[in-house]
Amino acid sequence: MEVYKFGGASVKDAEAVRNLLNVLQAQKQLPNVVVVSAMDKSTNALEKVVACYFNDRKTVSSSFQEIRKFHSNILLDLFDNDQHPVFKSVNGFFDEVLRFLDSNKSTNYNFVYDQVVGYGELVSTTIISHFLTENGLNNQWLDARNLIKTNNTYRTASLQLSKTQRHITQAVKPNQLYITQGFIGSDSNNFSTTLGREGSDYSAAIFGYCINASAVTVWKDVPGILNADPKLFDQTLLIPEMSYNEAIEQAYYGATVIHPKTLQPLYQKEIPLFVRSFNDAVAPGTCIRKNKFMPSTICCYMLLKHQIFITLSTLDLSYIVEKQFKKIAALLQSHQMKIRLTQNSAISMSICFSDPFGHKEAMLHELRAKYDVSIVDDVNLFTVLNPQTDQPDFIAQGTEILVKQITDKRLQFVTRN
C-alpha cells in the first residue's frame, strides 16, 4: 500500500488537476491513499476571511466571494456540465462555512480559524475526487476529520495516534483508491482542528504509518530535495538519497521542501519517503530512507530568516546553569517560541528562535523581570550541513555575524543584515 501527497501548487488550477490525473495514470501501480492540500493559496485566502471576521466583519463576504469564484472557475473548466453533482457539493461546503460564521459565538481566534480554514482541503479533494471518477479512476472520498483525531490545541493540534490508527484501519482497505485531505483532523468533540501550516505532508505520513505503507511519495514542483533553495543559490544539486536524520535536520534549519513533523512517523516504521516532481511523473526524485546517507561531498545550505536573537544574563552575576536553562526554556515554550540555536557562557545565554504566534512582547515582559535582556530582531540563521574543511564564510558575507558555531557535521551563523 502506498500514499501519495499533492500540495497546493500541484492543484493550483484546472490544468494542474489534469496533470495530477496524468501523474496517477503514469504509475505502474496506483497508490491507496492520495492526500491533497487546498488549491494554490486558498489557505491564505481562508485565513484572511477569519481575520476579516474578527477585525472588520463587513469585509467577510467580499473576501469569501473571491474564494468561491476561484473554485468555481476551476470547476467550470474541469466539468462540462454545470449540473454535475460536484457543483452542489462544493457549494454545500462553502455554505457551511458561512453558516458557521453566522452562528458562531466563540471569540477564540484559533478555534474559529480551525473551523474555517480546512474547507480549502475539503473543497479541493471533492473536486479532485469527482474529476478522477469522471476520467475513469474510481475512488472513494474520505473526510480526514473522521480519521485524524487530535487534541484541541487549535491551529497546532497534536495527533492522538491510537484513535487515529483505529479509524484509519477501519476506513482504508487494500486495492482501493481513496482521496482525502491533508492538514485537518478533529478533536474529541468533533470540532475541526488543523495540524499547522503546510501540515499536509505530515497527514500523508500519518496515513502511511497507520496503513503500514510500503512508501509515501510527496509530489512537488521541484525535482526532489536539493542541497539549497534555488531561490537563494544559483547552483543547486539534487540529492538522490538521504537518511531520515539528515532530512530532519535539513527541515528543522529551514529547508521548506518537507514539513518537519513528516519524517518521525515514517522513521518509526522505516517507511521510505520519496520526493518527486509532479512535472516529471517518471523521474525518481529523492528517496529518504534508513541508512542511506547523502554523499559527504554534498553540503547543504539552509537559511531561516526573521529569527529573534536574545542574550540573557542574570541580574546578580549568578551562573546561568541547569536550573536556569530549564526555566528559560519553559518560559519560551509557554509563548510557543521555536528555539533553533543556543549558546551559553557562565553568566549569559544567547538564544536564536522564531515567534510564529507574535508573543514576543509578552515573553520579554516576563523575561525582563528575571534577567538582563538584550535583543536583536530579524536576524538570519544560516546552517551548513556537511561543511567542507575549507568551508568559506561566503553565505554570511555582507552581514554582521553575532554567533558562529561549528562541529564536523554542522556550521551555523546567526547574522544581522
Q: Would you tell me which residues interact with ligand ASP (CB under 6 A)?
A: 7-8, 37-38, 43, 120, 182-183, 197-200
Q: How far is the CB of 264 from ligand ASP (least distance, A)?
A: 16
Q: How far is the CB of 328 from Mg ion (least distance, A)?
A: 34
Q: Taken in order 192, 196, 201, 206, is the CA torsion positive or negative? A: negative
Q: Given the complex with ligand ASP, which of 79 and 183 has the nearer CB atom?
A: 183
Q: Which of ligand ASP, Mg ion, none is residue 114 near (CB under 5 to 8 Å by kind)?
A: none
Judged by CB under 5 A, which of 10, 19, 32, 37 binds Mg ion?
Answer: 37
Report the distance separating Cα 90 and Cα 82, nearest Å.
12
Cell 514542483 appears where?
Answer: 221
Q: How far is the CB of 298 from Mg ion (least distance, A)?
A: 28
Q: How far is the CB of 38 from Mg ion (least distance, A)?
A: 6
Q: How far is the CB of 203 from ligand ASP (least distance, A)?
A: 8
42 scored as a contact of Mg ion (CB under 5 A): no
Q: Which of 128, 164, 169, 162 lies closest to 145 in space, CA to CA?
A: 164
Q: Given the complex with Mg ion, which of 256 and 405 has the nearer CB atom?
A: 256
Report the distance separating Cα 230 and Cα 237, nearest Å.
9
Q: Which of 147, 213, 216, 212 lies closest to 186 in space, CA to CA?
A: 147
Q: Taken in order 354, 357, 358, 362, is the CA torsion positive or negative? A: negative
Q: Which stretch binds Mg ion (CB under 5 A): 34-42, 70-78, 140-148, 293-301?
A: 34-42
> Which residues fall within 8 angstroms of residue 210, CB to CB, at 6 or more apart?
164, 165, 168, 169, 172
Q: Which residue is nearest to ligand ASP (CB)?
A: 200
Q: Which of Mg ion, ligand ASP, none is residue 404 near (CB under 5 to 8 Å by kind)?
A: none
For residues 227 to 256, the per-residue mask of contacts with Mg ion, x marking binding by CB under 5 A and - elsewhere, is ------------------------------
C-alpha dist (Å) from residue 267 to 165, 172, 222, 224, 300: 17, 21, 23, 19, 21
Grid coordinates representing 261 are 513533523
- E strand residue ranges, 154-235: 178-181, 184-186, 192-194, 215-220
Q: Which of Mg ion, ligand ASP, none is residue 223 near (CB under 5 to 8 Å by kind)?
A: none
Q: How far is the CB of 202 from ligand ASP (least distance, A)?
A: 8
> 183 near 147, Cβ under 8 Å?
no
- Total residue count of the chain as it appears in this document: 417
Q: Given the complex with ligand ASP, which of 36 and 341 has the nearer CB atom?
A: 36
Q: Given the complex with Mg ion, which of 13 and 134 has the nearer CB atom?
A: 13
Q: Which of Mg ion, ligand ASP, none is residue 183 near (CB under 5 to 8 Å by kind)?
A: ligand ASP
Q: How far is the CB of 342 from ligand ASP (least distance, A)?
A: 28
Q: Which of 288, 274, 282, 211 lies closest to 4 in space, CA to CA?
A: 274
Q: Which residue is nearest to Mg ion (CB)?
A: 8
Judged by CB under 5 A, which of 4, 8, 178, 213 binds Mg ion?
Answer: 8
Q: How far is the CB of 343 from ligand ASP (least distance, A)?
A: 32
Cell 522505516 appears where?
Answer: 270
- By the criterion CB under 5 A, which residues form the site for Mg ion? 8, 37
